[in-house]
Amino acid sequence: MTRAEQKEQSRERIIDAAVEEFADQGFRAASTRAIAARAGVTQGLVTYHFASKDELWRAAADRIFGRLDEGTPPGAVGSDEAAIRAHVAFSARHPEVFHFMVDAGRHDDDRLRWLIDTHLERRFRAVAGSGGSTARAAHLYYAVVGAASLMFAVAPECRALTGRDPGSDAAIRAHADLLVAAFASSS
């Protein structure tokens, strides 16, 4: 492997580790040392590749939205059955997306503004633009995303509290069935 390839691989591993750590701990509680440990490098190398914790967070956000766009194309969050099933399946496999978004969305700061300008507005426009009022689209968007994601986002709690494993195929299917019955337009 060439030196350039090694560098790129280190950078990639750091970003993947950052996604996990930011989602697990939230921005403030996440530490660059823990990210470095997850990636199998030293903390010095993290600050070599990313000048600041904020810059690393933005790289992690880009990676997260790459996964999101791949799993649930923009505009796919709505009352369409296939879209709902896709979103439930994605939420179950990628609970880190929900954690990352809730962590960013609760404080009106520079990170939220950057996230909206860079990723969120583009996705929301695709949902809101498909007919109906913006207000109704907003309510439907947060209701479907919240209903689809919470059980998987607090999977440890769900397991210990209800005895049901949200990661199982049966649970994912049952959750999708429930949401389709609740939100799918019966056209």
CA distance 1 to 99: 35
CA distance 105 to 124: 14
Q: What angle do helix axes 169-183 and 134-153 make, rounded to 10 degrees?
A: 160
**Residues 27 and 104 sit within 8 Å (Cβ to Cβ):** yes
DSSP state of 2: -
Long-range contact set of residues 106-111: C-beta below 8 Å, sequence gap at least 24: 110/54, 111/27, 111/54, 111/57
For residue 148, give the amino acid letter.
Answer: A
Exactly one of 26, 45, 75, 112 binds DNA (CB under 7 A); which one? Answer: 45
Q: Which stretch binds DNA (CB under 7 A): 39-47, 119-127, 169-177, 178-186?
A: 39-47
Task: Give, in order, the Cα–Cα distances in Å from 81 to each of 68, 77, 180.
Answer: 18, 10, 6
CA distance 134 to 59: 30
Q: Is 145 in the site for DNA (CB under 7 A)?
A: no
Q: Is 44 in the site for DNA (CB under 7 A)?
A: yes
Q: Is 28 in the site for its own copies (CB under 8 A)?
A: yes
Closest CB to its own copies among residues 45, 178: 178
Give the one entry of its own copies, DNA, none that residue 102 binds, where binding means its C-beta sits below a cut-off of 5 to 8 angstroms depending on kind: its own copies
Q: How many residues bind DNA (CB under 7 A)?
A: 24
Pattern 5-24, DNA, x by CB under 7 A: -xx-xxx-------------
Exactly one of 9, 12, 33, 106 binds its own copies (CB under 8 A); which one? Answer: 106
Q: How far is the CB of 82 from its own copies (least distance, A)?
A: 18
List residues binding its own copies (CB under 8 A).
Answer: 24-26, 28-29, 95, 99, 101-108, 112-113, 116, 120-121, 124, 128, 134-151, 153-164, 171, 174-175, 178-179, 182-183
List residues binding DNA (CB under 7 A).
Answer: 3-4, 6-7, 9-11, 30-34, 41-45, 47-49, 51-54
